[in-house]
Structure formats: structure tokens, C-alpha cells
Amino acid sequence: MLTLIIDGIAYGMVLFILASGLSVTLGLMNFINLAHGAFAMGGGYASVVLLQRFGIPFLWTLPLAFLAAALAGLLLERIAYRPMYAKSHLDQVMFSIGLVFMAVAGIDYLMGSTQQFVRLPEWLQGRFELGGVAVGRYRLFVIVLCGLLALAMQWGFMRTRFGSRLRAAVDDARVARGLGIPVNAIFALTFAFGSGLAGLGGAIGIELMGLDPSFPLKFMIYFLIVVTVGGTSTITGPFLAAMLLGIADVAGKYFLPQVGAFIIYALMVVLLLIKPEGLFARSRA
């Protein structure tokens, strides 16, 4: 039972890392980026390629996955995303779905449609006993790493100058701009950082969630739930939402395997029933 909870926490941690960038995009530019998962997949595949083709150890591929996805994010934001901010939500959604389709088919073409695996280093394999509870080494590693990242993000978000500017821009972009905060530059940076985090999450998550070309579509709804439930103005909101979702999903798949992903969608509909108004009210410009 405890093992299950730890698995759920690890899973939720990865979800948080994956989705945190999305919440900023949504909060800051009121832009719904369904292609966020594509960046995560990009990071995952970057890690796989580096590991399998170039023999770089798995841990070293993680920062490279982050960089690759961040770079892609920076470029795409400049070229493609920026003209989209002024368009309607519908256009934005169509645009990002188009990107997802391209990413899915492109990866399928380049890498094949099979599930990808990574070989973890020796010391991350297997399980060990901790107070009578079997804990997967890699899961513990994920929890520690993502936990540290979350703490660092919380610190950066709340304590640094960049963080306070970012919060100001999320709260009211117009006023922030009026005060001389370079909202566009902040947004581009944050977008790149969020994409990088997604890439990192994708690489970390290969072991836990699997990786194949359908990744962005499969996990799109997870990211959206995290953002919906957690809100866009804090780090802690999405964090708690990701934990909840991770544990619910792992427990659901363990206890009721035949129902499958059904639980997640039911959870979302129920949450929307409880909290129907103002889910995205904050992000309304």
C-alpha cells in the first residue's frame, strides 16, 4: 500500500514537472498550448537518442533533454506562437493540435512507432527496503530530484526579481507592461523554461510512463487537469493537483485495472462539476 503511494507520488512529481510550464503559458498569455506534450516527447526522445546512439549515460542526458526542449520552445515561440496570442481560443487550440499531429507523425517517421526504453544506471535499478516498505530506487530518485526542482521553482517564483515580475505579468499583463516590465521577453524566457521542464519531465518519465509517438495525445488531458485543478497563479496549486492525480491514477490502475483511464476522466468531470465557474477565470485577460 505504501509502495503504491510512493509510486503515485513519483508519478505525480513527474506530472508536475511536465505540466508546470503549461500553467505559466496559460496564466501569462491566456494561451492554451495543447502541444505542450510534444515538447515533453521531444525531451524524451532526445534522451533516448543520446543514450542509444551516442552512449551518453542516462543522467547526463537529462540536462541535455532540458536544453533541447527549451531551445525548441524558444524557437517555436518566436516563429509560430507569437502571432497566435491575439487570435481566438479556438484558433489557438487548432494551431496547437496541428503541432501535436505534426510532432506525432514526425516522431513516428523518424523513430518508429514502438515503445522506447532507456537503460538506467546500476545504482538506480531495483528496489530496497525502507522500514518494511519496498521502494523503487529510481522512484525515490525521481521524488528527490523533482522535489528539489519544485522547491527551486517555488523559491525562484516567490523570492527572485524575475519571479515577482512574472507574477505581476500573470496577474495583469497590461498593468505590468505599463510599469515597464518587459512582458514579452519574460514570456519568451518562461515559455522556453517551461518547455525545457517538459522535456526534462519527458526524459525522467520514460521509465514511469513509457514513451512512444502518441505520448502528447495520451497525456494532454493529464496536463490540462493539473492546470485546471491547480490554477495558474501559484506553484503549489499545480503541485498538489499533480500529486492528487498521480496517486489517483496509480491507485486506480492498480485496484481497478479494467476501468483503466476512465477514472481520470471521471475525476475531471466531477471536479468540473464541483468547481464549474472560474476554472480559468483567473486567466481571463
Catalog residues that contact other proteins under the rule CB under 8 A. 26, 32, 80, 83-84, 87-95, 97-106, 108-109, 217, 221, 224, 228, 258-262, 265-266, 268-269, 272-273, 276-277, 279-281, 283-284
- Nearest 5 degrees, angle CA 5-CA 8-CA 11? 155
Phi, psi values for residue 254, rounded to 5°: -80, -50
Number of CB atoms found within 10 A of residue 20's CB? 26
- What is the per-residue DSSP string for 160-200? SHHHHHHHHHHH-HHHHHHTT--HHHHHHHHHHHHHHHHHH
Q: Which has the closest alpha carbon to 277: 236, 228, 227?
A: 228
- Cβ atoms of 46 and 69 within 8 Å: the answer is yes
Q: Which residue has the cell 542516462?
A: 58
Q: Which residue has the cell 496536463?
A: 223
Within 13 Å of residue 232, how many CA atoms lie on the same side as its CB?
29
